[in-house]
C-alpha cells in the first residue's frame, strides 16, 4: 500500500542475514515497495543485490559525508550501473554542512568537494535520464539547502530532484516544488518538537511529496531511538494521513503516484 522512498538496506547496521526478514516485515505491514540508496561506490553492489528482490529498487550515489573517501571520478564511475533496471535514481548525493570536515580537510575544501560531486551527479542524471535524491543538513541556518537549491536550479529543466528527510519551511518546500522537484517526509514528522515540519506537510499539495524512513536512522514514534526499518514507514504514513485529514488509502494513492513518477520503476527481469 505504501512506498518507503528512502532507506539504506545495505547499511552496516543491518546484517546481510537480516535483510530478507526486514523486507518480509515491510511487506506484511503493507509496504509494497522500498528504495534502497547506496552512499559510496563500495556499497553499490550490495544495494543492487538487495534490489534483485521484486519489492526493492536501488539508487546509486556518493553521500556528501563520503566524498573524501571517494576517487575524484566517482560520480562518473556510477555511469557503469545506470543501465541496470534495478537502478531507479542517482543518489544519495547532496550537501552536509552539519558534520565537521574529516581529519586533514578544511571545512571550505570539504564543502567545495561536496558541491562539485553534487553538480556531477546532476550532470550524470541529465545524461542518462534519471532523477536525483538530495540530502542537505546544517548545524544552524539553511546554507546547505540554499547551495543545493542553486545547483538544482541549473539542472531543473532536465532533471527532477527530491530533497529527502525534508525539515524546512513551506516557503523553502515551495521553492523546490516550483523547480519541478519534490520533498519527502520521514520519522521526524512524528516527533513532539517537529511542529514546523508538520506545518510544512499540511501545505504541500498532493503529488509534491513522498514518504520515507531513512532507515536505519530516525525511527518514528513509537520506535524513536531504536533502529529504524522500512515497515515503520507505516507510522509516518498514519501520522501524515491524520494530520492532513486524508484516509490512509488516499494518502497512499498520491504519495505512491509521486514516487512512481519520480523513480519510474523499471520492470526487473532478473
Cβ closest to Zn ion, residue 4 vs residue 147: 4
**Closer by beta carbon to Zn ion, 75 or else 186:** 186
The least distance separating Zn ion from the CB of residue 63, rounded to whole angstroms, comes to: 7
The CB-of-8 to Zn ion minimum distance in angstroms stands at 6
User: Residue 6 CB, nearest distance to Zn ion (Å)?
Assistant: 6
Q: How would DSSP label each residue in the chain?
A: -EEEEEE-TTSTTS-GGGHHHHHHHHHHTTEEEEEEE--SGGGHHHHHHHTTSTTEEEEE---GGGTTTS-TTHHHHGGGGTTSTTEEEEEEEEEE-SSPPPTT--HHHHHHHHHHHHHHHHHHHHHHT--EEEEEE-SSSSHHHHHHHHHHHHHTTT--EEE-S--S-HHHHHHHHHTT-EEEE-GGGGSTT-HHHHHHHHHSPTTSEEE---BTSSPPTTSTTSPP-GGGHHHHHHHHHHHHT--HHHHHHHHHHHHHHHH-PPP---
Give whichever of 228 and 241 is closer to Zn ion, judged by the CB atom.
228
User: Per-residue x/- mask for Zn ion, residues 59 to 98, rule CB under 5 A?
Assistant: ---------------------------------x------
Looking at the Cβ atoms of 5 and 200, the one nearer to Zn ion is 5
d(CA 67, CA 64): 5
- Cβ closer to Zn ion: 35 or 201? 35
Number of residues this chain uses to bind Zn ion (CB under 5 A): 2
- Kindly state the smallest distance separating residue 234's Cβ from Zn ion, in Å: 19
At closest approach, how far in Å is the CB of 104 from Zn ion?
25
CB of 245 to Zn ion, least distance (A): 29
Q: Which of residues 110-149 bind Zn ion (CB under 5 A)?
A: none
Comparing CB distances to Zn ion, the nearer of 210 and 241 is: 210
Please report how close the Cβ of residue 161 comes to Zn ion at its closest, in angstroms: 14
Q: Residue 75 or residue 216: which is nearer to Zn ion going by CB?
A: 216
Footprint of Zn ion on residues 207-246 (CB under 5 A)?
214
Dihedral of the CA atoms 193, 98, 255, 78 (nearest 10)? -160
Cα 190 to Cα 12, 39, 174: the distances in Å are 25, 25, 22
Name which of 92 and 229 has its Cβ closer to Zn ion: 92
Spatial separation of the C-alpha atoms in residues 148 and 136, rounded to whole Å: 7
Min dist. Cβ of residue 267 to Zn ion (A): 25
Q: Which residues bind Zn ion (CB under 5 A)?
A: 92, 214
Amino acid at each position: 500500500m505504501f512506498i518507503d522512498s528512502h532507506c539504506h538496506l545495505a547499511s552496516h547496521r543491518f546484517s546481510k542475514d537480516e535483510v530478507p526478514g526486514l523486507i518480509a516485515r515491510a511487506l506484511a505491514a503493507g509496504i509494497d515497495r522500498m528504495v534502497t540508496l547506496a552512499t559510496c561506490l563500495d556499497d553499490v553492489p550490495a544495494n543492487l543485490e538487495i534490489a534483485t528482490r521484486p519489492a526493492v529498487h536501488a539508487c546509486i550515489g556518493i553521500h556528501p559525508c563520503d566524498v573524501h573517501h571517494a576517487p575524484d571520478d566517482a560520480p562518473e564511475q556510477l555511469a557503469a550501473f545506470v543501465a541496470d533496471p534495478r537502478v531507479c535514481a542517482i543518489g544519495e548525493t547532496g550537501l552536509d554542512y552539519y558534520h565537521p570536515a574529516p581529519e586533514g580537510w578544511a571545512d571550505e575544501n570539504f564543502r567545495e568537494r561536496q558541491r562539485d560531486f553534487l553538480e556531477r551527479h546532476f550532470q550524470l542524471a541529465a545524461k542518462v535520464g534519471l532523477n536525483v535524491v538530495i540530502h542537505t543538513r546544517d548545524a544552524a541556518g539553511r546554507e546547505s539547502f540554499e547551495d543545493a537549491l542553486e545547483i538544482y536550479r541549473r539542472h531543473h529543466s532536465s532533471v527532477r530532484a527530491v530533497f529527502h528527510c525534508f525539515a524546512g519551511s513551506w516557503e523553502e518546500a515551495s521553492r523546490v516544488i516550483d523547480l519541478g522537484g519534490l520533498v519527502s517526509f520521514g520519522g521526524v514528522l512524528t516527533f513532539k518538537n517537529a511542529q514546523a515540519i508538520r506545518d510544512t506537510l499540511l501545505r504541500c499539495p498532493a503529488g509534491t511529496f513522498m514518504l520515507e524512513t531513512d532507515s536505519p536512522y530516525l525511527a518514528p514514534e513509537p520506535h524513536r531511538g531504536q533502529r529504524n526499518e522500512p515497515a515503520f514507514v507505516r507510522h509516518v504514513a498514519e501520522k501524515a494521513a491524520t494530520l492532513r485529514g486524508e484516509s490512509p488509502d488516499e494518502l497512499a494513492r498520491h504519495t505512491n503516484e509521486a514516487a512512481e513518477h519520480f523513480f519510474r520503476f523499471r520492470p526487473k527481469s532478473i
